Amino acid sequence: MPRLIDLSHAITPQMTLFPGTPAPVIAPLAAIATDGFAEQRLTLTSHTGTHVDAPAHLIAGAATLDVMPLRQFVGPALCIDVRHVADRRIGTEPLAAHATLIDKADFVVFHSGWSQRWARADYLDGFPLLSEDAARWLVGARLKGIGIDMISVDDVASAALPIHQILLGAGLLIIENLTRLDPLPTDRLFEFSCFPLPLTHADGSPVRAVARV
């Protein structure tokens, strides 16, 4: 029997955010006791929590999420364990070692173990980063996207965002702030989905990322 694994962080007003991102606001509008129904007002950015970056996030005139077909957000994925990479750098070596499986995948998900630091200050600093060569290698693999269990594919202090530029510039999706990657297999593919909200002109969107193993 296939198992569904939720890879998404809960959205709360106290959640971890990229520096400068406004905190979500979840405010009651109506209550069953007084109004006969319950409803809440939600205020949040398009890059809150576990979310997907569209190419339009950084590339002028590039595709927004709402113009992409639904098949862009689902497909076979490979999880690569990078918890023990040296010097915080994910190079091409682990990619080349899994080239046969990556060739059959639509997504590559990197398991760094960093999600264990969620809600801690050190979640925002010191996480492993893809090298530019690795990013270009992934572009050459003709994937739909890559996922990470970290706040960003670039250093939080980076202004140039080189890894974003390489991946988004090639039309790939970037799914950030994944969690609960421990149960994912690293020796075979699984089904991955990251459907965004149906927002118009969407440069990004929170997602309910799910693995079907």
Q: Return the pLDDT at 64.
A: 98
The answer to whether residue 139 is domain-embedded is yes
The answer to whether residue 31 is domain-embedded is no
Q: Return the pLDDT at 1.
A: 84
The answer to whether residue 33 is domain-embedded is no
Residue 74 near residue 193, CB atoms below 8 Å: yes
The answer to whether residue 21 is domain-embedded is no
- DSSP letter string, 76-109: EEEEEE-TT-GGGEE-SHHHHHTHHHHTT-SEEE
The answer to whether residue 36 is domain-embedded is no
The answer to whether residue 30 is domain-embedded is no
User: Judging by beta carbons within 10 Å of its beta carbon (0-12, 13-18, 19+), is residue 206 exposed, middle or buried?
Assistant: buried
Q: Verify whether residue 164 is a known catalytic residue.
A: no
Q: Which domain holds residue 180?
A: 4-9+49-212
How far apart CA 94 and CA 83 sit, in angstroms, is 11
How far apart CA 113 and CA 85 sit, in angstroms, is 11
Single pTM value for the model? 0.97
Which pLDDT band, with edges at 50, 70 and 90, does 97 fall under?
very high
Number of domains in the chain: 1
How far apart CA 130 and CA 125 sit, in angstroms, is 14
> How does pLDDT run across 185-205, given as a tens digit for each residue?
999 999 999 999 999 999 999
CATH number for the domain including 171?
3.50.30.50
DSSP-H helix ranges across the chain:
32-35, 93-97, 99-102, 132-140, 162-169
> How does pLDDT run across 52-88, given as a tens digit for each residue?
999 999 999 999 999 999 999 999 999 999 999 988 9
Catalytic residue among 51, 57, 111, 164: 57
The answer to whether residue 28 is domain-embedded is no
DSSP letter assigned to residue 32: H
pLDDT at 209 over 90: yes
